Amino acid sequence: MGIFFTVGENKKRPGVYQRYENVGGVSIAGATDGIVACCIRSNWGERNKVHTFESIEQAIEILGNGGENGTVSLLTEIFTGGAKKVYCVRLGSGGTKGQTTLYDAENAQAVTMTAKSEGDRQLSYIIRNVLGEENTKEFIVLEGTVELERIVFDTTENEIENFIQSTKKSSYFVFSKVEQYQGNAALAEVGQTDFPTGTNPTVTNADYSNAFTLLEPYVFNTICIDTESVAIHTLLTAFIQKIYNEGNILPFAVIAESTSVPFETRLAHAKAINAYNVIYVGGGAIDTLGQPLEGVRAAARVAAMVASTASNQSLTHKVVTGMTDVLEMLTNSQYEQSIDAGMLTFSTSSSGNVWIESAITTLNMPQGEDDEGWKKIKRTKIRKELMNRASATVEPLIGNINNDGDGRATVMIAIGNLLSLMHTEGKLLEGGYIEVDKNNPPQGDSAWFNIYADDIDSLEKIYFVYKFRYSPNL
């Protein structure tokens, strides 16, 4: 009988003993792509909460259309740019919720109807009998001509109580009986009626800081915001550096200014950031409707393109879909100045497509341990991905292996496999390896390793030398 034995155990009786081991190795963490975080203003939706969206339709259902001064349109750019998932915070504090009173059939005030969100989203409602169904009414919520919600309730008896109970599942309104109401009549029917709007929250710099804190625990590739304020750009840059230093490796902050800002000013703002975790979009394009894609719209689109593009692909000369022309025509010298300053711009191909001129971060003067590779979005993304996947790969080993030769070998095998996999994926050159740091010998519960890896750049500059020779026709 196959009795189990433990490592190092010597059984007294003769026989066959067994145990099993995992020789398949540690699971290698995969790449994380396609996730964008953003902060917006809107006329609907819970504030100061991280909402998760996987489509623009879902976002509009939760946050409304943004209203006159809202920035929900950024979400359209983000999903158009290829994002798979969006973490979004509705900004602001204060504001008021719309409210009205519903009457019973005897014209007495019976039910208070209050919006679930602060803001001026214009909704309307209908209360009517259900055609062909006796003792049944329906409550319908509309936005324009689009039906958002339909709730059916029984009118056999205690109609108003039934209405209040049934509408507890409403996504848009809260209902309560008027305190002084003592009647027992039916609820009055209402034709399509506009619901009185509330007022939108106010948004300050502190609201952006609070939103950044809410997003801090989440894993995302890029983050963008709905303002061109240099002060808030500074807050976001500080935030992205903070979470990077604390182990949230992947994100880039993507910020932008419109072309109405003087070109030299944009260059100066990009150059002053000088950080590979920040991308500054300083150019613009024109969409098929003749509308400008610049400023926060351009930042949202680029943020999604960066997030959704695998690290083995470059965004340099990546076509921006739906664009017909660049918003400003730059000279060759200006494009070179932009690259030197770390300012991402748009240009056109020989066939007229609008594309990203050069996919660069704001790093323009590497210092300390930084090198020229951090200037490129592609190479920076590979390096971030390697660090993130290495941590995720060995994290399950913490506390479960000994700090001895075998334990450290387990770590090195896992990372070696990751390096080989990323070479196969076209992200690293062949030959990457890991070793125990000879200058920091293992001790106690700690071990130090050196990982050697060469990330692959894209081919962005091709030089042709034409060698012509005159030869008379014979």
DSSP string over 64-82: TT--TT--THHHHHHHHTT
The answer to whether the beta carbons of residues 167 and 153 sit under 8 Å apart is: yes
Give the pLDDT confidence of 180-233 residue by residue, as tens digits.
Answer: 888 889 999 999 999 999 999 999 999 999 999 999 999 999 999 999 999 999
Q: What angle do CA 298, 299, 304 make, to 5 degrees?
A: 100
What is this structure's pTM?
0.89
Beta bridge partners of 142: 124, 147
At 429 the pLDDT is 95
Q: How far apart are CA 107 and CA 29, in angstroms?
A: 65
At 18 the pLDDT is 66
Strands, E assignment, 119-172 = 124-129, 136-143, 146-154
Give the pLDDT confidence of 339-366 residue by residue, as tens digits.
Answer: 999 999 999 999 999 999 999 999 999 9
- The CATH number of 35-92+202-356, from 3.40.50.1220, 3.40.50.720, 3.30.160.40, 3.40.50.11780, is 3.40.50.11780
User: In terms of CATH architecture, what is 97-194?
Assistant: Sandwich (2.60)
Domain ranges (residues) in the chain: 35-92+202-356, 97-194
Sign of CA dihedral 327, 333, 334, 340: positive
Which of the residues in the chain have pLDDT under 70? 1-2, 4-8, 15-25, 473-474
At 233 the pLDDT is 97
At 416 the pLDDT is 95
At 460 the pLDDT is 82
At residue 384, φ and ψ (nearest 5 deg) are -60, -45
At residue 136, φ and ψ (nearest 5 deg) are -140, 135
At 474 the pLDDT is 60
Q: Which residue in the block uniquely carries the two structure tokens 């009205």?
A: 100
Sheet bearing 109-118, strands edge to edge: 97-103, 109-118, 173-177
Q: What angle do CA 133, 139, 144 make, to 5 degrees?
A: 125
